[in-house]
Amino acid sequence: MPSLTDQQSLAIPAGQPYFHYRDSELFVEEVSLAALASQLGTPLYVYSKAALQTAWDAYAQAAKGHQVLVCYGMKANSNLAILQQFARFGSGFDIVSGGELKRVIKAGGNPGKVVFSGVGKEVWEMELALEAGVKCFNVESVPELRRLSDVATRLSKVAPVSLRVNPDVDAQTHPYISTGLKENKFGIAIESALDAYRLAKELPGLNVVGVDCHIGSQITEVSPYLDALDKLLSLIAQLKAEGIELHHLDLGGGLGIRYDDETPLAPGILLDAVFKKLADKGLELELVLEPGRSLVGNAGVLVTEVQYLKHTEDKDFAIVDAGMNDLMRPALYEAWHGVLPIKPRSAQARVYDVVGPVCESADWLAKSRCLAVQEGDLLAIESAGAYGFVMAGHYNSRPRAAEVLVDGKNWHLIRARESFDDLIRGERLLD
Ligand SMILES: Cc1ncc(COP(=O)(O)O)c(C=O)c1O
Ligand SMILES: N[C@@H](CCCC[NH3+])C(=O)O
């Protein structure tokens, strides 16, 4: 069995330097995670404000000297306080629902910097976005084009539109988070895009302003982006020949982060390659990006407490108080998240499956991890800032976790832990 020394030499937090060991205890910035857990309970999502800033700065730096609008893909983490931070950085927002638009407005974001994606936009959502004055609708089908034109005309407005094109490229990522292949429901097939643009130009309620694609998530190579870009550039040339001039090009989000041993793709590497291609074509389009995971993923952890250690003939289980309802990624994608002891022990380690209390065999957070733990110990599930709390649910009547944003020595409770009353709000017994 590996000893504690082996464990510690492996324990380089994915969110370093903001998540770091100090005197053999895991801290976020200047705040002890154990102290937060003791005050606020577990499971607990904890985010680092400095990590958000650093992730944002990487995009800002890469964009310097170019016309770029970063629209935070807020589905990754839509807590109002997180959105408020991005609004303060000057970010725009990529939204996929009327609810997300309401959050942006509530958090002080600028609707004029909002792009509205999603395959199923309803009439009320279109109305809301038109009234708010969003920058652009990323339209994903021909029926949606027609509906949007009708809604805009009825409101005496003109809707700015991009067509989300499905370029049929392989993003080389998990099939569930790949979105730019022919078989995916997203976007308009690249072969049909020209006809769709011709229609958009004719429809009275629309103003064609751009082109958009988003090929998937957790991408670590630049080549899928460049393959998609090549296809968009040839479409842009065809459109120009027909007198349809675009103002912006939206390459979506998708940049990956380090969960395990991945090498993330830095925004600067992607943007330099994109700017070079645009310059080669003599194009001066505004570039829009919609990053989510790469802005927040490694800015957060999920803190959980070991309830029981269960040793069976086949396996050792560490049963913790966070489950698939709190962090769904492992159950849904067999996703790998690092597990760090908050106060590492000098004891013999064992190989554990870290599992939750939910009545599903898919309720696991990590498999085959070498840990020296006892009941009552705290663990940090890493890289939980993106697609963590936002995908949480109430299965097994489990109230959702609290969320905290740490800023240096200070911390702010940005979401209170749910109570049983929160859980049943809206339910009614029969008379
Ligand atoms: C349209 C769109 N834009 C942006 C994003 C954000 O993606 P990511 O978190 O991978 O950067 C997504 C999610 O995959 C998306 O569907
Ligand atoms: N929820 C996914 C990402 C989905 C991106 C949305 N298009 C994940 O956790 O990796």
- Does a structural domain hold residue 67? no
Q: Which domain holds residue 322?
A: 4-48+297-424
Among 263, 291, 319, give the residue marking a domain's end. Answer: 291
| Whether 281 and 358 share a structural domain | no
Q: What is the pLDDT of residue 148?
A: 98
- C-alpha 397 to ligand 1 mean position (Å): 30
Q: Determine whether the annotation assigns residue 428 to a binding site.
A: no
Q: What is the pLDDT of residue 173?
A: 76
Q: Determine whether the annotation assigns residue 290 to a binding site.
A: yes
Task: List phi, psi (to 5°) of 182.
Answer: -50, -40
Q: Determine whether the annotation assigns residue 329 to a binding site.
A: yes
| Whether 282 and 212 share a structural domain | yes
What pTM value is reported for the model?
0.96
- C-alpha 345 to ligand 1 mean position (Å): 39
- Does a structural domain hold residue 350? yes
Testing ligand 2's pocket by substitution, the residue of 387, 389, 390, 391 carrying the most ligand atoms inside 8 A of its CB is 387
- C-alpha 243 to ligand 2 mean position (Å): 37
| Whether 10 and 152 share a structural domain | no
Among 246, 275, 291, give the residue marking a domain's end. Answer: 291
Give the list of residues 6+ apart from residue 363 with CB closer than 8 angstroms, or none: 323, 324, 331, 355, 356, 357
| Whether 284 and 374 share a structural domain | no
Q: Which atom of ligand 1 is nearest to the CA of 295?
A: 11
Q: Determine whether the annotation assigns residue 221 to a binding site.
A: no
Testing ligand 2's pocket by substitution, the residue of 177, 178, 327 carrying the most ligand atoms inside 8 A of its CB is 177
Residue 178: what residue type? S
| Whether 257 and 366 share a structural domain | no
| Whether 278 and 191 share a structural domain | yes
Q: What is the pLDDT of residue 3?
A: 45
Number of domains in the chain: 2
Query: Helix, strand, coil shares of the chain as percentages rounded to 5?
Result: 35, 25, 40
- 259 in ligand 2 pocket by Cβ < 6 Å? no
Q: Determine whether the annotation assigns residue 175 to a binding site.
A: no
| Whether 384 and 417 share a structural domain | yes
- C-alpha 253 to ligand 2 mean position (Å): 11
- Does a structural domain hold residue 186? yes
CB atoms within 10 A of CB 289: 28
Greatest pairwise CA separation for the chain in angstroms: 72
Q: What is the pLDDT of residue 146?
A: 98
| Whether 143 and 273 share a structural domain | yes
| Active-site hit among 71, 136, 213, 359 | 359
Relative to the alpha carbon of 388, which ligand is closest?
2
| Whether 165 and 17 share a structural domain | no
Q: What is the pLDDT of residue 331?
A: 98
- C-alpha 297 to ligand 1 mean position (Å): 12
Give the list of residues 6+ apart from residue 417 with CB closer than 8 angstroms, or none: 40, 41, 399, 400, 401, 402
- 177 in ligand 2 pocket by Cβ < 6 Å? yes
Q: Which atom of ligand 1 is nearest to the CA of 293?
A: 9
Domain of 195: which CATH number?
A: 3.20.20.10
- 364 in ligand 2 pocket by Cβ < 6 Å? no
- 113 in ligand 2 pocket by Cβ < 6 Å? no
- 337 in ligand 2 pocket by Cβ < 6 Å? no
- Does a structural domain hold residue 74? no
- Does a structural domain hold residue 259? yes
| ipTM of this predicted structure | 0.98
Atom 7 in ligand 2: residue holding the nearest Cα: 177
Known catalytic residue: 359?
yes
- Does a structural domain hold residue 57? no
Per-residue model confidence as pLDDT tens digits over 248-267: 999 999 999 999 999 999 99
Please list the ranges in the chain whose pLDDT falls under 70.
1-10, 180
Contact by Cβ (8 Å): 385, 55: no
The encoded tokens of residue 431 equal 């008379």
| Whether 266 and 157 share a structural domain | yes
Contact by Cβ (8 Å): 343, 376: no
Q: Which atom of ligand 1 is nearest to the CA of 219?
A: 10
Q: Which atom of ligand 2 is nearest to the CA of 216?
A: 7
Per-residue model confidence as pLDDT tens digits over 140-177: 999 999 999 999 999 999 999 999 999 988 877 777 77
- 387 in ligand 2 pocket by Cβ < 6 Å? yes
- Does a structural domain hold residue 408? yes
- Does a structural domain hold residue 227? yes
Among 252, 267, 291, give the residue marking a domain's end. Answer: 291
| Whether 227 and 312 share a structural domain | no
Specify the DSSP element, H or E, that contains 7.
helix 4-10
Q: Determine whether the annotation assigns residue 47 to a binding site.
A: no
CA nearest to 227, candidates 274, 185, 283:
274
Domain of 44: which CATH number?
A: 2.40.37.10
Relative to the alpha carbon of 383, which ligand is closest?
2
Q: Determine whether the annotation assigns residue 292 to a binding site.
A: yes
Q: What is the pLDDT of residue 174?
A: 77
Atom 13 in ligand 1: residue holding the nearest Cα: 217
| Whether 164 and 203 share a structural domain | yes
